[in-house]
Amino acid sequence: MPAPSKFTLFHEIFILDAYLQKELDESKKESITQKLIDDLLVALRMDPLGELRIFPAADLRAPGWSFLIPITTSHISGHYFVSPGRLPHIRMDVYSCASVNWRKVIDIANSHLALEKWRGTFIDRQIGVDGSERLMWDVHGEADQVTNERKLFMPHDHAAPVREEQIATVSV
């Protein structure tokens, strides 16, 4: 019997809020969503725990659909919708106990959905019982390009100030 491999829990989440360059074809929502999820699972080395569920919008003032797939390390969820007079939106959460590479999420989302402007928040959800800070990254971009990246340090001591470190700012 092979020795069990070492397993480290990371508790990471990437939250993506993006405008899309154009509306998605709602008649193809199953294939669009399935291809997006399949590529995310492969790139992030995650496995499905259950089937991908797709739900049509309940409020037709913002037509679109929601989706959810449980994975062995947590879940991927999202909501695509169109608001009259605005670019279509995607709101997506990729949460895992394995490491989440948010740059890969951006690349894959852009290749499937044609991102316009977007904003993301990556959170390393460690509890920090040892007094360590919780790390968060606030990132902005357009298409597959990161235009601004800030690392935020959330102290374990709630009285301590939040620290911020500018990682990169790129003009596009």
Residues 149-172: tens digit of each pLDDT: 998 876 555 555 555 555 555 544
Closest CA to 130 of 156, 108, 104: 156
Task: Report, at the CATH architecture level, how domain 12-169 is classified.
Answer: 4-Layer Sandwich (3.60)
Cα–Cα distance measured from residue 72 to residue 69, given in angstroms and rounded to the nearest whole number: 10
- Binned at pLDDT 50, 70 and 90, residue 72 comes out as confident
The amino acid that residue 10 corresponds to is F
pLDDT digits (tens, 9 = 90+) for 18-58: 999 999 999 999 999 999 999 999 998 899 999 999 999 98
Provide the mean pLDDT of the chain.
86
| pLDDT number for residue 158 | 55
Question: Taking the domains of the chain in order of start, what are their residue ranges?
Answer: 12-169
Quote the pTM value: 0.83
Please provide residue 94's backbone torsions phi and psi, each rounded to the nearest 5 degrees: -120, 105
Give how far Cα 128 sits from Cα of 6, 60, 96, 115, 124, Å. Answer: 21, 43, 18, 34, 10
Specify the DSSP element, H or E, that contains 106: helix 102-113
